[in-house]
Amino acid sequence: MKLEKIGLMPRHLTLLTAGLGYLGNVFCVNLTYVFKKEPFLDFGIAEAQLASANSTLLIIQHVGIFLGVILFGSLADRRGRMAMLFISVGTYSVATFLSGLVHNYYLFQVLRFVVGLGVASELGIGLVLICEIFSREKRTFLIIFIAFCGFMGMFLLSILAKSFHWRTLYIMGGLLGLLIMFFRFSTFESDIFLKSNQLKNQLKKSLILPLLRKRKIYYLIICILPSYLVTASSIFVGTTYFKELKVSAGQSLLFFSIGGGLGLIFISLLSKKIKSRKKAITLCITLLLILASIYAFIKPTSIHSFLIINFLFGIFVTYQFELLALTIEQFGTNIRALATTLVFGAGRASVFLFSLIIPILNLIVKDLLMSVFILDFIFFCAALWAISKIKEDFCRDLSFVDE
């Protein structure tokens, strides 16, 4: 049956592919955070060495993310968005599937490195692709759909983690990504990428160094860090600090993802209504700082208050998708994919960085939540300063290149 007869165009399948790719991305990358003990115990690692083994694995995965941002982001600007989208999805899917089968800890580490390579740029490339193939009037709704798919991946993992063995979920995550590969021949490349008159001459110059010479890339990276600091502190640090509440990382992740699903709709529609991504982002960062203050000074006293705060955190961290849309509108076709993947990859990799800094700061402050709040205050204020330095280009036409 032809796609047109059922009301679907190839670009709609491209949108579906990008959305499902991000769903699988979130599912696969968060397996490492949800299952902190089970894989290591199966590999014969002693309880006393779990913290060290988990940290080592996260370092390896985030090194993969860092390298994947540069590799796939650059290639997406050189070789095309669609090809790199499927290669990145295929990379993390195969590696995740094999991670559920191996019985050697060192091979497991290698595979998580490969997963990091694959997940690093998938969202950035997918967002750039759909923003380039659809009209700018639909951009807000496209971002809502892609982001919602990601939160569905988080939601599914939080539910399934209660009932399935870790190996089963690794295999399921890998199979999910591999199923997406069936869409490969029903999707198409961005016309903006293919038809830009200046692009052929600019591609050879499409390297990371010209991008790093632009101040706005650093402003955008600073702006995304608070959303991942909140993720690290509310889900992972919070469940450790409030042990007496008996809240699991899965429960925390569940409420966080529900809040995120609702928040991405609210924040996206708000920015469309006021025609300003900057103002919507500024509002969210300010509200997150207020919530972080409540979290640190009042402190949740019951499981319900803890989960409600996590729910509210989930609502407002969704500003990161508006920030990625802002990033897409800031850069030309020749460096757009690299810029978007770099901003997102820096944010995602910062979760591990924050998880290292917080315990070190806690040795000085002697209060875990206050240590988190100090970091919150520093990075949130820096983000508010950085967003003020970025030019507003709401729903800008994307048919341009950077010199």
Query: From the centroid of its chain, how far is CA 70?
Result: 16
Residues 137 and 19 in one domain: yes
Give 5's pLDDT tier (boundaries 50, 70, 90): very low
80-106: pLDDT as tens digits? 777 788 888 888 899 999 998 998 889
103: CB partners within 8 A, 6+ apart: 42, 43
Residue 3 pLDDT exceeds 50: no
- Cα–Cα distance between 278 and 31 in angstroms, integer? 33
CA Rg value for the chain? 20
pLDDT at 220: 94
Residues 183 and 131 in one domain: yes
292: CB partners within 8 A, 6+ apart: 230, 233, 372, 373, 376, 377, 380
Residues 173 and 264 in one domain: no
Tokens of 345: 């990859």
Residue span of the structural domain in which 155 resides: 9-188
204-258: pLDDT as tens digits? 554 677 777 888 999 999 999 998 888 777 655 665 666 666 666 667 777 887 8
- Whether residue 90 lies inside any domain: the answer is yes
* C-beta neighbour count of 222 within 10 angstroms: 19
Domain final residue pick, 172, 188, 204: 188
Q: What is the mean pLDDT of residues 158-187?
A: 81
Residues 173 and 246 in one domain: no
Residue 9 pLDDT exceeds 70: no
- Whether residue 31 lies inside any domain: the answer is yes
pLDDT at 185: 54
Residues 103 and 34 in one domain: yes
Residue pair 236/352 in contact (Cβ under 8 Å)? The answer is no
Residue 58 pLDDT exceeds 90: no
Number of domain units in the chain: 2
Residues 155 and 274 in one domain: no
Residues 17 and 97 in one domain: yes
- Cα–Cα distance between 198 and 200 in angstroms, integer? 6
- Distance set, CA 70 to CA 67, 87, 215, 333 (Å): 5, 14, 18, 16
Residues 173 and 229 in one domain: no
Q: What is the mean pLDDT of residues 347-362?
A: 79
By C-alpha distance, which of 305, 268, 263 is closest to 288? 263
- Whether residue 4 lies inside any domain: the answer is no
- Cα–Cα distance between 132 and 14 in angstroms, integer? 11
Residue 8 pLDDT exceeds 60: no
- Whether residue 3 lies inside any domain: the answer is no
- Cα–Cα distance between 386 and 182 in angstroms, integer? 41
Residues 233 and 177 in one domain: no
Q: pTM value? A: 0.84
- Distance set, CA 154 to CA 35, 79, 159, 160 (Å): 14, 31, 9, 10
- Whether residue 402 lies inside any domain: the answer is no
Instruction: State the average pLDDT for the chain.
Output: 80
Residues 268 and 171 in one domain: no
- Whether residue 198 lies inside any domain: the answer is no
283-336: pLDDT as tens digits? 999 999 998 888 778 777 777 777 888 888 888 888 988 998 899 888 877 788
Residues 20 and 131 in one domain: yes
- Cα–Cα distance between 289 and 186 in angstroms, integer? 44
Residues 40 and 181 in one domain: yes
Q: What is the CATH number of the domain that holds 110?
A: 1.20.1250.20
- Whether residue 229 lies inside any domain: the answer is yes
The amino acid at 383: A
The amino acid at 290: I
- Cα–Cα distance between 12 and 3 in angstroms, integer? 10
